[in-house]
């Protein structure tokens, strides 16, 4: 990816993100239920986007149903050292109810706890991908890089959506994505339709691998159609 400043709905940023998703090797069997950790910053600044994510999360389940389905584990941090993770959830309505019970609260970021939790889950069983949505970073960058590298060794790519363009957060978010083998994309709260498709692309990748991702791109059209041209021979076993 380049260092150019781009919004989520710009062609360059979307294509960069889709190229990274399409080139990510998927480890583990396909045709079964994909497993995705959906992690979010629930500090006070994120309340509007939390509500938006709650509304569009059902797309992840709908887009993967024909592939064998998707299990999602919701994780979030907020307030003073509050961190919660759900069980693995296989139904959109159940996840929505869980998200609707959450309120955002002022506090510092705990991205390290998200990454450490994902590592623990991957050591216990299969995790196909981690999605993280956040807007700032207030932690030790080297520690986050180390945890992201450990995720990469466990073949758990982190797909990082950054709301806004905080100059302190962006280098760390990019590094987390790079070291884990995932992808980074700036998040524009005014583009919910495109965000829905991009989250769907990650979910389809987690559930069905590269072939399913290419079919998804053909079906969605528009910017997401670029997926069909980016899938390389590397790691296409899915």
Least confident of 47-61, 96-110, 140-154: 47-61
- Using a pLDDT cut of 70, give the percent of the chain over it: 78
Edge-to-edge order in the sheet of strand 183-187: 82-85, 70-78, 34-41, 129-134, 158-163, 183-187
**Exposed / middle / buried, residue 231 (Cβ in 10 Å: 0-12, 13-18, 19+):** buried
In this predicted structure, what is the pLDDT of residue 113? 98
Confidence at 236, pLDDT banded by 50, 70, 90 = very low
Quick: pLDDT tens for 67-108. Answer: 778 899 999 999 999 999 999 998 888 888 888 888 899 999
For the cut 60, the answer to whether the pLDDT of residue 168 exceeds it is yes
Give the integer Cα–Cα distance in Å for 209 and 202.
9
Distances (CA, A) of 15 to 1, 46, 51, 101, 223: 10, 26, 26, 35, 8
Q: Would you state the structure tokens that stand for residue 55, as one six-digit string?
A: 């509304």
HSE, side-chain direction, 13 A CA sphere, residue 59: 19
For the cut 50, the answer to whether the pLDDT of residue 231 exceeds it is no
Quick: pLDDT tens for 2-15. Answer: 333 344 444 566 66
C-beta separation of 61 from 198 below 8 A: no
- What residues are paired with 142 via a beta bridge? none
C-beta separation of 159 from 183 below 8 A: yes
In this predicted structure, what is the pLDDT of residue 223? 52
CATH code that applies to domain 11-230:
3.40.50.410
Quick: pLDDT tens for 106-134. Answer: 999 999 999 999 999 999 999 999 999 99
Average pLDDT of the residues in 25-50: 77
For the cut 50, the answer to whether the pLDDT of residue 211 exceeds it is yes
Backbone torsions φ then ψ of 207, nearest 5 degrees: -85, -35
């Amino acid at each position: 990816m380049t260092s150019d400043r781009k919004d989520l709905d710009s062609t360059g940023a979307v294509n960069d993100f889709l190229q990274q998703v399409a080139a990510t090797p998927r480890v583990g069997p396909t045709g079964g239920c994909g497993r995705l950790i959906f992690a979010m910053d629930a500090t006070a600044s994120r309340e509007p986007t939390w509500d938006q994510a709650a509304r569009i999360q059902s797309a992840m389940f709908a887009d993967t149903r024909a592939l064998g389905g998707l299990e999602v584990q919701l994780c979030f941090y907020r307030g003073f050292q509050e961190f919660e993770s759900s069980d693995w959830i296989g139904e959109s309505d159940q996840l929505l109810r869980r998200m609707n019970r959450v309120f955002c609260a002022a506090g510092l970021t705990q991205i390290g706890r998200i990454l450490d939790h994902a590592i623990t889950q991957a050591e216990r069983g299969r995790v196909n991908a981690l999605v993280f949505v956040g807007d700032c970073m207030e932690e030790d960058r080297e520690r986050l890089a180390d945890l992201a590298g450990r995720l990469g060794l466990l073949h758990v790519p982190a797909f990082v959506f950054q709301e806004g363009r905080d100059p302190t957060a962006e280098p760390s978010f990019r590094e987390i994505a790079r070291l884990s083998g995932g992808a980074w994309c700036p998040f524009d709260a005014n583009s919910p339709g495109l965000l829905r498709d991009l989250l769907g692309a990650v979910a389809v990748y987690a559930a069905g691998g590269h072939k399913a991702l290419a079919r998804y791109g053909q079906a969605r059209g528009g910017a997401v159609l670029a997926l069909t041209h980016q899938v390389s021979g590397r790691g296409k076993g899915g």
